[in-house]
Structures are given as C-alpha cells and as structure tokens.
C-alpha cells in the first residue's frame, strides 16, 4: 500500500482509543502490526505522562507510522488548529482530518472538511480526510490537495459494516488511481475483507478491536482478514450469477 511518498507492508490502520488498558492496546498493536497507528491530540493531552513514550516504542517495534487525528473537531478552524498543534506534539506532517457535522451519526461536514484540507495541504501536511462516499466531495478533496481518501463504511463505532456497497464500488471505479481507505463502522473481520475485495487499499478501525472481549485476538483476526481480502481481489473473483452453474462435467455420465 502506497500513501503519499511512503510504502507500507500492511493495509491495516489501527486506533489507540477505548482499550481497557495501555497494555492491552500495546498487545493488540503487536498482534495487528498495522501500517499506521492513529492517535488523538486530545488523548495525548488528557492521558498524561506515559502514553506518548508508549506510542513511540510501539511504532519503533512494529514499524507503524504515527497518524495524529483531529477527532472531536466540528469546524474547519478547530481542525486546522488541532492539526498544527499535533504536528508540533507528534513531530509529523501526516494528519487524519476529521470535521464532524452531526453529533448523532458523526457524519463528516463536507464544507468544513474541504476548507480544512485545503489549508492544511497548503501548509505542507499530508492529509488523509475522513469523508463520505460522495463523488462530488471526493473531487473537491482531491482538488484541495489530498492524495488519499478515507470514506466511511458506516457511522463511527456502529459495527454496521459497509452500509453503501454500491456507493463505495462507484467511488473505487471513479478514482482507480487514488488510494482509498474504508474508515469507520467496521465491526467484524469479514467487513474488512469485503472492503479489500472491492479493491479498497486498506481499512482503518478502532472500536471493533478495542471493545472486543479479547482485543488482541480480534486484532490478529482483522490483520488476517485484510490479507485475505486483498489476495481475493488480486485473484480476480468470479462474477455473481442469478442461476446455478454445475461444477461437475456431464461428459462420462451413465446413459439410461
């Protein structure tokens, strides 16, 4: 998977929030070996002393790149300021951009998102925007300087999987050369496999692992599902049919 100027061995991105303990988060990260490890500036600010060194150690150990996000921001100005602060705290120009419009669904605000993406891109950030599967919004984000798009599968933390498979498939077909990551709403490994089977370049998730009864095993399961989904896509799946097609040849059947 290639994002901006870097190639990653994994197609899985993992969040660091909601785990029962830092130790469980660390063990789940080791099991998943993600390409990127997301973290909120607010999480670091509220978490106190030991969280940042733990993240640094995990990135060194697993090879993951740290990806700060602007979680909790509801305006473009808020997101821009948070991104600039995150660059200073985490020493990276990579940013997962979130500008939330609706508090119930956590749906992105397309207008604030495009505005913030433009300002941050012009400021040298490598912006990964959390967006919907809307084609017009995708066009404007690319024009604003984004080289990666991260459409949602479903509302954050809902575990509903891919709500709009048709829309995601159209987005993939419309932008065949742009890296696309399904972000949010995945609940089980089969959801991740489905996204990769559609030709998406990767997935980003957090709650599905952090809130599992066994986060470490679930992290490992998602890593395996992502690999399986990508292999299936590269293998070229057979087309769906309305009627049966016998797999056993009729040649050689006994004549009555």
Output the known binding site for 1-deoxy-D-xylulose 5-phosphate. Answer: 157, 184-185, 206-207
Output the known binding site. Answer: 157, 184-185, 206-207
The answer to whether residues 165 and 127 touch, using CB atoms and an 8 Å cutoff, is no
The answer to whether residues 17 and 206 touch, using CB atoms and an 8 Å cutoff, is yes
Partners of residue 96 on adjacent β-strands: 69, 128
* DSSP code, position 213: S
Residue in this structure with the two tokens 């293998």, named with its chain if needed: 235
Cβ density class 115-152: b for 16+ within 10 Å, e for less: bbbbbbbeeebbbbbbbbbeeebbebbbebbbbbbbbb
Rounded alpha-carbon distances, angstroms, from residue 123 to 69, 107, 211: 16, 25, 36
Q: Is 96 a residue of the active site?
A: yes
Q: Give the largest CA-CA distance in the chain.
A: 82
- Distance between CA 61 and CA 12 in Å, rounded? 16
Copy the structure tokens of residue 26: 């660390």
Within 33-75, residue ranges assigned H as helices are 41-47, 51-62
* DSSP code, position 188: S
Q: Which of 96, 126, 140, 147 is catalytic?
A: 96
User: Nearest CA to 116 among 79, 149, 147?
Assistant: 79
Q: Which residues are catalytic?
A: 96
């Amino acid at each position: 998977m290639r994002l901006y100027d870097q190639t990653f061995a994994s197609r899985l991105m993992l969040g660091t929030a909601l785990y029962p303990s830092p130790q469980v988060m660390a063990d789940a990260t080791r099991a998943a070996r993600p390409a990127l490890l997301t973290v909120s500036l607010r999480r670091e600010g509220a978490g106190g002393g030991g969280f940042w060194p733990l993240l640094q150690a995990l990135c060194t150990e697993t090879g993951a790149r740290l990806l700060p996000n602007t979680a909790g921001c509801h305006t473009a100005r808020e997101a821009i300021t948070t991104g600039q602060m995150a660059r200073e705290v985490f020493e990276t120009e990579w940013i997962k951009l979130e500008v939330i419009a609706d508090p119930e669904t956590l749906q992105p605000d397309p207008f604030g998102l495009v505005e913030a993406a433009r300002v941050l891109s012009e400021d040298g950030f490598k912006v990964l925007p959390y967006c919907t599967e809307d084609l017009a919004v995708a066009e404007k984000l690319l024009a604003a300087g984004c080289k990666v798009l991260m459409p949602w599968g479903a509302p954050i933390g809902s575990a509903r999987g891919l709500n709009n498979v048709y829309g995601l498939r159209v987005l993939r077909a419309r932008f065949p050369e742009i890296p696309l990551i399904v972000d949010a709403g995945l609940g089980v490994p089969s959801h991740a496999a489905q996204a990769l089977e559609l030709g998406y370049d990767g997935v980003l998730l957090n709650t599905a692992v952090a809130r599992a009864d066994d986060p470490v095993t679930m992290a490992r399961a998602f890593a395996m599902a992502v690999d399986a989904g990508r292999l299936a896509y590269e293998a070229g799946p057979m087309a769906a049919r309305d009627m049966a097609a016998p797999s056993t040849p009729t040649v050689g059947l006994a004549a009555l």
